[in-house]
Chain A
Amino acid sequence: MSVRVYLVDDHRLFLAGVRAELSEEFSIVGSAYDVDTAIEEIRGLNPDVVLIDVHMPDGGGIAVVEGVAETNPEVKFLALSVSDQAEDVIAMIRAGARGYVTKTIEPADLADAVRRIDAGDAVFSPRLAGFVLDAFAGAMPSDEDPELDQLTTREKDVLRLIARGFAYKQVARKLNISIKTVETHVSSVLRKLQLTNRHELARWASKRRIV
């Protein structure tokens, strides 16, 4: 049975485009243009993967992710946005999204990302990898949980290669590790991003807002 996908975007034209691109391989169970409808329908339909726009009126994608997480924690989110605003993207991931890609992504890559999210992996676009490296860069670990607050050298290597535009397969080959290991590293980075409460992250986000 094909992956059940739900789409949320307030730009109808874009939504129609994504629907056309994905409907061959996946079963699109529904779509919404606004936050409230999205929360209600996703709760009822319980799709496998939700493609969610970051910027929407009434709370944006974060409101949907948080609204659904309470009742249907098994629903997985892939954030899709034109935003270059690092803090928006990081906030989305911290709210629970399993990945982030820009809307300029190639259709084949988008389909690949949906499959990956459905399989429980994280999806990092080059840009998100850059954001994460930036967020964790040059900081000392805090006392509370040093492991959560820092990326390992290997994780940084993986992120750098993703940021340089390499696919997971190429990353694996360059580092002489398996694709599965690459996926494990990325998932671990995602977990750190979601769980860490290091103040540098907040400081970084506020610094970004000024720039």
Chain B
Amino acid sequence: MAGVAGGLADALGISDGFVRAAFVTLSMVWGLGVLVYLGMWLMEMDRVEDVDPVEVAPHQAVGLAIAFAGFLLFLGAAGWWPSNALVLTVGALAFGTAALTDRNMPGPLAALVDPTVARPGRLRMLVGVGLLIGGLAVFSANVGPIYEIGPVLLAVALTGIGILVAFGPWVTRLARDLGTERRERIRQEERAEMAAHLHDSVLQTLALIQRSDDPARMSILARHQESELRDWLYGNAPLEGADLVSTAMRDAARRIEADHQVPIDVVVVGDHPLNETTKALLGAASEAMVNAAKHSGAERVSLYFEADRDELVVYVTDQGKGFEAAGVTGDRRGIVESIKARVERAGGAVAIVSELGEGTEVVLRMPVSTG
């Protein structure tokens, strides 16, 4: 009723009518079927929607039937057995009805009048009718011993079967519709999440740009937003590559770009995992970028990172005013010293080439072990 029978039927690859019949039969044994049903209902909460029914070979179906019969015998041996007649009757009736009312087969009446209906359908129908008649026969032969409870059980069984026949397919369809609805809801949630993301990022930036009257600032905001959105769209999410030098370099460049209002073009060739050595390189590169952004007066800065088999090279290039090595003083000198110290401590080398009026290039080299 809650989709358990249908789900189990899909999983086993047999008709849900038979599964329902098995549950009804088991219910006759001290309500076992109901318990099993409830248990499975609790477990199947996360059942995948719309699993394609597994194709089952005839011998597998027979195997399942034998297993079920064996299970009943075991219950009998264990003493949990109300009466042969009762179980046989209900079982025969339930399975007979299931054979006749399978949702995947043409109606039994159609099979009677239309000879073109496939033979398995007719065979099933014959077996089903046989089971029904047999069940009724067993029931009437034993009507004496279970006389007192017989009519009640019969009424219950008939009602159950009636509900099964009338509502089984409808319940199945309802379960399908629920699945479709759930997918639709997931889709809507995704859309809402996307809208929320765009609102927090793109729309905010657009608002900032509209309110800003400084073209340089507008351009920076737009660039920052562009790279962020691109990462989000194309899945270069910071989390995924967080342990790679390339990602860390891009992030650092983006931050510095935003802080100092100078565009930084990043080009990366190859990659390397982030570790103590490469973190030193990253720190030095960041300082070089800040230095270029703050002091060079250049309109843009280039960061080029290349990972070779045994060496990482970083070029931080600007085409600003440049400087003479001897003329470096104060804050600027400190930065240069700090870059050198960092890289050299980690085993690398630093070269700074600068020409007055031509710009500056800081070259950082770091040997790495192959890996």
Contact = CB atoms under 8 A, between A and B. Distances in A.
Given A163-B269, A164-B304, A85 B234 contact: yes
A129 B317 contact: no
Contact of B265 (A85, A126, A137, A160): A126
Chain A binding surface SS class: loop
Contacts of B319: 165
A137 B270 contact: yes
Contact of B268 (A104, A130, A165): A130
B269 A133 contact: yes
Contacts of A126: 265, 267, 302, 304
A127 B223 contact: no
B241 interface: yes
Contacts of A166: 317
Interface string B223-242: 10010001000101000010
A164 B318 CA distance: 9
A160 B306 contact: yes
B257 interface: no
Interface in A132-188: 133-134, 137-138, 160, 163-166
Nearest to B230: A84
Contacts of B95: none
Interface string A82-102: 101100000000000000000
B317 A164 contact: yes
A67 to B, nearest CB: 27
Interface string B265-309: 101111000000000000000000000000000001010101011
A1 interface: no
B317 A165 contact: yes
A121 to B, nearest CB: 21
A127 B267 contact: yes
B16 interface: no
A25 B268 CA distance: 34
A211 interface: yes
Given A134-B270, A163-B267, A82 B234 contact: no
A134 B265 contact: no
A200 B236 CA distance: 22
A160 B309 CA distance: 16
B270 A84 contact: no
A138 B309 contact: yes
A85 B317 CA distance: 24
A178 to B, nearest CB: 19
Interface in A36-85: 82, 84-85
A153 B315 CA distance: 18
B226 A82 contact: yes
Contacts, number: 49
A127 B319 CA distance: 18
Given A126-B267, A127-B267, A165-B265, A84 B304 contact: no
B102 interface: no
Contacts of B236: 84, 211
Contacts of B230: 82, 84
A134 B317 contact: no
A104 B219 CA distance: 10
Interface in A13-36: none
Nearest to B315: A164
A108 B342 CA distance: 39
Contacts of B300: 165
A211 B241 contact: yes
Nearest to A128: B267
A167 to B, nearest CB: 9
A2 B66 CA distance: 88
A171 B361 CA distance: 14
For B236, B265, B268, B361, the residue with the greatest tally of chain A CB atoms inside 10 Å of its CB is B265
A133 B226 contact: no
B223 to A, nearest CB: 7
B271 to A, nearest CB: 8
A196 B167 CA distance: 66
A178 B236 CA distance: 39
A85 B315 CA distance: 23
Contacts of A129: 267
Contacts of B223: 104
Nearest to B299: A106
A126 B306 CA distance: 13
| 9 shortest interchain CB distances as A-B pairs | A165-B302, A130-B267, A163-B267, A164-B304, A133-B269, A134-B269, A164-B317, A164-B315, A126-B267
16 contacts: A82-B230, A84-B230, A84-B236, A126-B304, A127-B265, A129-B267, A130-B268, A130-B269, A133-B269, A134-B269, A163-B267, A164-B302, A164-B317, A165-B265, A165-B304, A166-B317
Interface of A: 82, 84-85, 104, 126-127, 129-130, 133-134, 137-138, 160, 163-166, 211
Interface of B: 223, 226, 230, 234, 236, 241, 265, 267-270, 300, 302, 304, 306, 308-309, 315, 317, 319, 361
Given A138-B308, A164-B304, A166-B317, 8 more contacts: A126-B265, A127-B265, A133-B269, A134-B268, A138-B270, A163-B269, A164-B361, A211-B236
